[in-house]
Structure 1
Amino acid sequence: MMMLFTKKLRRDLAEHWTQFVAVAVMAALSVLIFSGLEGGWRGIDTHRDKFAHDNGLPTLWVGVRDLTDEDVARIDHQVGVIHTQLVTSTMVEHDDSDLLLSSWEPGSRINVPQVTAGHPIDDASGVWLDDAYADTHGVTPGDTLTVTTPAGGMDITVQGLIIQPDKMAYTGRGFVAPDRQAHGYGVASADILTELTGHGAVEHSLTLVAEPQRQHAVEQHIREALGDRLISLTDRDHHPHVATVFERANQIRSLSILFSSLFVLVALLSIFTSVRRLTDIQRTEVATLRALGHSHTVISVYYTVVGIVAVAVGCGVGVALAPVLSRYVLTTQQGSFSLPTWEPTWSWVSALVPVALLGACVVASWTATLPMRTMTPAEGMRPSIGRARRAPLERWPRVWEQLTYGDRWAIRDAMTNPVRVLMGIVAAMGAMMLLFAGFGMPDTLTNQVRLTYDEQYQYSALVGVAPQATETTRRFVEATSGTGQWMAQQAVTLSPDATPDTLTVLDDGTLFQVHTEQGEAITLDDAVVITEHAASRHDVTAGDDLTLTFLNGDSTTVTITHVVPLSEPQGVIMSDTTWRTLGHTFTPTTYLTQHTPPGELQENSAVTSVITIAEQRANAHTLINSLTSVFTLMKLFAVGLTMVVLYNLGALSFTERIRDYATLRVLGFHHSELRSFASRENVFTTLSGWLLGIPAGWWFLNRYVGLFTTDRAAYQPSLSMLSFTLASAMTIMFALTATLLLTRRISGIDMTSALKGVE
């Protein structure tokens, strides 16, 4: 008996290979997408966490004005604090780029730099340079680095290359994406920093590692101990040079779930439809096997095995290709942050996906063979009389009679096979969803760059000044930079136990504009504005009172006047007039100017940075370009989904209609007319899926954009008319290509074999 079914299995797979290849491809894509993406995001998670643990990634970063040794000692002895380290930093210029040099005490167990080349970090005079920055600038250990400060220059020996834990995603000041050509960092010896900090701006900060369960209490103690001198207090989820690494892994994980769910659904529909159609086509063969004494159970097991074979082959291919996709995903992220190791890692869940898919295949196949189990051999030997094909549209004779014969035939046939039609609609709809995301994400990011740097920001450059800068320094900046607008920003908490948001205070000017959802500019004056994402997180709207709690524990209450769709900064925006009315002092740290600041401005030790809007715009486009390959991958998956599923459905439809086509040919219909009949169902399912795919695609794009939205930056989904047209054209074109390939087979039908009855 085993020999009989083995031979039959080989013959069935050979005769109906297109259906089973389609099932195998869908299973392979389901496993590939989940396991491939999991290997990427879990690899980032695993190696990031190991790096953070082994090298003492800080849990808190504390910025303090006039930091003293007593402050450090007081915080170091707080219950819950494991390690602390005082950091001195200064910005220097090298090779027309900004280089942030910081101190690090050899032997410290916090924020330990990973040396990737050169000498271990010790007290030797020199610098240990950012590995990615050094690679971009062609610097190697032993080279001499020439750096300049406002007071002069210095030659420093490069002792080694490093990756520092709290600068895994270092972007420089005022930028959203790493640019190794323009920004880098390094750890300098005590002698070098002593000499450098004697000439330029010095920044003192405190990094510490706290026990997770006591971190909140430690933060509260720091606020009380430092009071108004506290400038910033940041944790891992919000530190700009660390948070990206945590966010990106979560984004890819969510993406793998979204993608896999869609492909698994279509794969299961393909399995069910393929096995069901195979048993219908082989009606007489099933009846013959029953007449020979084989039980319904044995025959059902055989057809279940047929589905398992296709799925197993697909799962095997998916598992084999998953490492390739994982490494590709990791490669796309290497420009966004730095890790010591870039290797994929998988969990038991990846192994469970093929098992779950095979289990679902057994259920789907066993369910598909249900009608066969109630059929006697005599019933099976007789040709199927078919099922009722009356369509609801036939209730309106005037409308029905206006349709051509081909239209009526296609409608009735579709009503008889709703699962096949549903699958075609789901395939086209799924393709639109993936293409909306593939085209929509670049459009969303590009549109956000346009809104931010063309409409929201009207300045030519922004000048950063140290928080301790004097009023004389600010007047110098104004006089040197020309007409502009001052801005102050600080972290505030908008609700109990919430993550910090940003409070932005602006003086008179129009270089930082805030617009309503309708695009109308808001005059701040007495207005208090909150961004949409922040308002949603804190459940407030215009007219509500909102309490702002500052880092030192003080608080003030304001009334929200507007909710605006701003990307960044996230939080609350008000004028300096309103800020002073609340009883606070306006101490700005950024000057927005319409003019290009002269070089002499950067020679002032209180000026921490000068950034042009052109540089910010170019940096934002760098981020978009770094994600292009991911978006292209989504488009390829969408095309594959459309082609495979619709071709499979067409092949099933063609096989079960061969007798109908032969009958129509004998009755005098031409091949061109038969091809027209055959294509109508696919055209209908494609257009229906395309129409349903528009709202579904927009929903999917919203979900995907939501993955990139954080507490620091929010995005509004956008899809250009060109992208919509391309997504629609690709869906329809590839669906119709599958239809064309199938309808060409009609001319090869053997009329005698197709119309021959049971012998």
Structure 2
Amino acid sequence: MVRGALWKKTIRDMKQSKSQFVSILIMATLAVSIVTGLDSIWFTIQNHADAMYRSTSLSDLWVTVANPSEQQLWGIKQIDGVTRVEQRYCADADTDLPGNPTLRVYALDDRSTLDQPDVQEGSFEKYGGGAVLDENFAESNGLKIGDVVSIKLNGAWVRVPITGLGLSSEQIFAVKNSASLMPDSKSFGFLVVHAGTLESVYGRKVYNQISVRLASGTDVPQVERQADAVIGKELIGIVSQKDSGSVNSVDSRIQQFRTLGIVFPLLFFIVTALITQSTMVRLVENQRSQIGILKALGYSRRSILWHYTSYGVVIGLCGSLLGLAMGPNVFGRILVPRVKLTFSDYRISVNFLHFFLAMALILICTGGVSFYACRKLQGDTPAVLLRDRPPKKGNHIFLESLPSLWRKLKFSSKLIARNTMKNKGRLMMSTVGVMGCTGAILAALTIRSMISGITVQMYGTTFNYDQKILVDQTKTDTRYLANQELNGIVQQTEESNLELICPNGRRKMEPLTITSKNSPLIHLQDVSGNPVSIPENGIAVSRKLTETLGVKPGDSIQIKRTDQKYVTVPVTQVFYLASGQGIFMSDAYWKSLGETFKPTALLVKWNGVPNEKFLSSDAVEESVTRESQRSGLSGSTQVVNIAVAMMIVMGAALAFVVLYNTSILNFTERIRDLATLRVLGFYHGEIRNLVLIENYFSVFPGMIFGIPVGRSISWIVAKNLDSRLDLFGTITPQNVLIAGILTLFFAWIINRAVAKKMKNLDILSALKSVE
């Protein structure tokens, strides 16, 4: 009976203060939805990727060496931490399909267990001539099980029957070459065959990679050093699992949303906690007479404490559950399919650990604050609680110490100044709330601007060609390409992955671009925009890569020469690239190291129309325009842009709720004072300004203090968003203006809503509220 009465009172109290409770509910929902939503993205990617890595037995290392010998296999097998060693063949092959798409062919030994295809349909028998084709490639090119695909390797064509369709853990993010920035299943896929299938091409089983599985906790750099010693000068390169293209892309996506999922929810929780704390304390303190009545009627201390704690607990639980329902479904279902990663399905995974932590924080902000506020009043007797709280002792404010200024103020301005100073705590909480919301909006706008600016920096400033043409190295050389006399500015480049040893001993494969020193179509710059020339004796390294490698100008690194040992080269220049970190070297310096400059691509700025005869010749493997690359780069960052746009909407919604909550609270606390002024003859417009102008006192300081908050958040996100992106979270006047206009717009709307409530003020009921 007692519990039923208190529960009815809870429902009645919530109805009476529904605007405050609804605002707290919305804030709790927004905070939890951002946590669960952003977490669901990276958590889903990580779970699906890890499941695929396990099901396909993805290798930990790939050692590239032409025709590995049994002695080399045995030598790597003896390295501490190595549990399994297998050999395979990996190469790109042309096809006879319309559009001449390319397939990356993996030829596995009959006894292999590593790097297996994840068969979705059909089968891949241990022995036989069948093959597993990329499921997405098959769908895009109209192929099915039972069809035959022809591939060209070593100048010969071989027909391979398709016995299965599947996925590969090495092709979760599949791009063909340096001209491709986004996956395109129509033009590129993979094919897994048996090693015996290629005997008709090479006359024997051929391999060019050693797949290595390591025990858990093994020192990977140490294994790489020992494998290098085993292979010797025949070593082409060693790639660890985390440095492979697909795995690195997956990890980058995870890192992007992990960063967003830490920074933005933290700010939302801080704002929610502060505003909820001030709101719940006032709601409970306004019930002091009700607490006195309950104590006088004999309700126990525990019952009263739980009754008022339940206010916050109910709202906190409802907000948490709504956030759990909204976050993964809004963020996860919209963004996960847009990350351009290939999984067997896209079922959303919820990180329940982080959800329960978020729910616990919300309950502390709501239920915990309610408990604390009620507990403070439990020490008073019913007689004390039934009387109004004695008014605070009046103090002169600072403006009153300036008589010349104070006397010039209107009576209404004096009331506003005194009331503002009287409620400094509320003013501070409101200011902090607006500061956090403005900072969140400004940070999201800044992140969106710097993500959009990547394409401008890459394909507006650094690369100035019209077309990038990939050439067949077996059919071309420097002299052949120079003799084509293409109508335009032409720059020859050689692009490859270079194995290097950092000063700390770590081995990595990094992109290397070799080109002419004058570089007419690639204009490198430092972070300040000053031109950076490709050095004559040394290498130029991108700024973000120097941080990754732990080097600076003047340091030296070791690079692997073709079929030989390592040579030491100095780092003489550092340049800035927003995306696609790497190393640049002049062709003359490359030749001085004993290497041969073999162009893999031509960069062309045409004087008129492109040379279609050359573009359609056998010497050209593929060509791509700068505009298509710009579009591809924009597409690769689109999902982050969408996520940030959603953050802007969430931040705006939080700003709206915070301003509404503080404005309504200010109005309800002063409702009797306002009614008294109406009785004394003050006009409605005069009374309205007493509240509405005061509301702006928290808006303007909050906007100003929100600028450094937004700047700090954007710098944190820029630094940790992606290891391949070099971004600066520099705020712009335009974004500051947009964030400020949004905040002022919300304040204006809310003031209109409060003004409407004031116009409909019931004076008699307000003055009798003391009873």
TM-score (norm 2): 0.86
Q: 1:91 to 1:148 in 2, by over 3 A?
A: closer
Hey, what does 1:104 align to over in structure 2?
A: 107
Rounded to whole Å, the distance in 2 between the matches of 1:391 and 1:138 is 80
16-25 or 403-412: bigger deviation: 403-412
Rounded to whole Å, the distance in 2 between the matches of 1:624 and 1:246 is 15
1:666 alignment partner, one of 679, 686, 693: 679
2:670 partner amino acid: R
1:748 alignment partner, one of 760, 766, 771: 760
SS at match of 1:459: coil
SS at match of 1:679: helix
Hey, what does 1:592 align to over in structure 2?
A: 602
Hey, what does 2:139 align to over in structure 1?
A: 135
Hey, what does 2:501 align to over in structure 1?
A: 493
SS at match of 1:166: coil
Give the number of equivalent residue pairs. Answer: 748
Q: Are 1:38 and 1:346, in contact at CA under 8 Å, matched by a contact in 2?
A: yes
Rounded to whole Å, the distance in 2 between the matches of 1:597 and 1:708 is 41
Alpha-carbon displacement from aligned partner over 1:483-513 (angstroms, at most 9, x marks no partner): 3233455232333144635554432322222
Alpha-carbon displacement from aligned partner over 1:508-533 (angstroms, at most 9, x marks no partner): 32222211233222233447543332
- Is 2:77 the counterpart of 1:77? yes
Shift of 1:452: 0.9
Alignment of 1:410-559 (within 5 A): 410-464=416-470, 473-480=477-484, 482=486, 483-487=490-494, 489=496, 490-498=498-506, 500=508, 501-508=510-517, 509-526=519-536, 528-537=539-548, 541-542=552-553, 544-548=554-558, 550=560, 554-556=566-568, 558=570
Hey, what does 1:20 align to over in structure 2?
A: 21
Rounded to whole Å, the distance in 1 between the matches of 2:48 and 2:222 is 29
- The list of structure 1 runs, each at least 4 consecutive aligned residues, that deviate by more than 6 angstroms after superposition, is 146-155, 195-198
Q: Are 1:84 and 1:207, in contact at CA under 8 Å, matched by a contact in 2?
A: yes
Rounded to whole Å, the distance in 2 between the matches of 1:441 and 1:390 is 46
SS at match of 2:647: helix
- Is 2:265 the counterpart of 1:260? yes
Shift of 1:217: 3.2
Q: Are 1:98 and 1:183, in contact at CA under 8 Å, matched by a contact in 2?
A: yes
Q: Are 1:532 and 1:565, in contact at CA under 8 Å, matched by a contact in 2?
A: yes
Shift of 1:662: 0.9
1:683 alignment partner, one of 681, 696, 706: 696
SS at match of 1:165: coil
Q: Are 1:658 and 1:754, in contact at CA under 8 Å, matched by a contact in 2?
A: yes
Shift of 1:26: 2.0
Q: 1:586 to 1:143 in 2, by over 3 A?
A: closer
Shift of 1:196: 7.0
SS at match of 1:180: coil
720-729 or 738-747: bigger deviation: 720-729
- Is 2:581 the counterpart of 1:570? yes
Alpha-carbon displacement from aligned partner over 1:589-637 (angstroms, at most 9, x marks no partner): 53332155756577658x7654443332221122133444323321221
SS at match of 2:25: helix
Q: 1:665 to 1:555 in 2, by over 3 A?
A: farther
Q: Are 2:465 and 2:603, in contact at CA under 8 Å, matched by a contact in 1?
A: yes
SS at match of 1:111: coil
2:542 partner amino acid: T
Hey, what does 1:338 align to over in structure 2?
A: 343
Shift of 1:82: 0.9
Q: 1:474 to 1:597 in 2, by over 3 A?
A: farther
1:117 alignment partner, one of 112, 117, 121: 121
Rounded to whole Å, the distance in 1 between the matches of 2:630 and 2:193 is 31
Q: Are 2:134 and 2:165, in contact at CA under 8 Å, matched by a contact in 1?
A: yes
Q: 1:386 to 1:170 in 2, by over 3 A?
A: same
Shift of 1:233: 1.9
SS at match of 1:715: coil
Q: Are 1:330 and 1:342, in contact at CA under 8 Å, matched by a contact in 2?
A: no
Q: Are 2:434 and 2:698, in contact at CA under 8 Å, matched by a contact in 1?
A: yes
Q: 1:397 to 1:140 in 2, by over 3 A?
A: farther
Alpha-carbon displacement from aligned partner over 1:316-357 (angstroms, at most 9, x marks no partner): 322344552464166334523435563414343433432343
Rounded to whole Å, the distance in 2 between the matches of 1:158 and 1:237 is 31
Q: Are 2:68 and 2:210, in contact at CA under 8 Å, matched by a contact in 1?
A: no
1:88 partner amino acid: C
2:433 partner amino acid: A
Hey, what does 1:172 align to over in structure 2?
A: 176
Shift of 1:150: 11
SS at match of 1:523: coil
TM-score (norm 1): 0.88
1:207 alignment partner, one of 197, 202, 211: 211
Q: Are 1:465 and 1:590, in contact at CA under 8 Å, matched by a contact in 2?
A: yes
1:532 partner amino acid: R
- Is 2:244 the counterpart of 1:245? no
2:175 partner amino acid: T
Rounded to whole Å, the distance in 1 between the matches of 2:414 and 2:187 is 67
Rounded to whole Å, the distance in 1 between the matches of 2:78 and 2:316 is 59
SS at match of 1:168: coil
Q: Are 2:502 and 2:550, in contact at CA under 8 Å, matched by a contact in 1?
A: no
Hey, what does 1:316 align to over in structure 2?
A: 321
Alpha-carbon displacement from aligned partner over 1:636-657 (angstroms, at most 9, x marks no partner): 2112211222212222211111
SS at match of 1:365: helix
1:554 partner amino acid: Y
1:104 partner amino acid: A
Shift of 1:705: 2.6
- Is 2:88 the counterpart of 1:86? yes
Q: 1:118 to 1:326 in 2, by over 3 A?
A: farther
386-395 or 1-10: bigger deviation: 386-395
Q: Are 2:284 and 2:370, in contact at CA under 8 Å, matched by a contact in 1?
A: no
SS at match of 1:241: helix
Shift of 1:156: 5.8
User: What are the ranges of 5 or more consecutive residues in structure 2 without an aligned counterpart?
Assistant: none
Shift of 1:152: 9.1
Q: Name the % identity.
A: 24
Rounded to whole Å, the distance in 1 between the matches of 2:591 and 2:432 is 58
Rounded to whole Å, the distance in 2 between the matches of 1:361 and 1:273 is 10
Q: Are 2:285 and 2:373, in contact at CA under 8 Å, matched by a contact in 1?
A: no
Rounded to whole Å, the distance in 1 between the matches of 2:506 and 2:674 is 67
Rounded to whole Å, the distance in 2 between the matches of 1:142 and 1:437 is 54
- Is 2:277 the counterpart of 1:272? yes
SS at match of 2:246: coil
SS at match of 1:234: strand
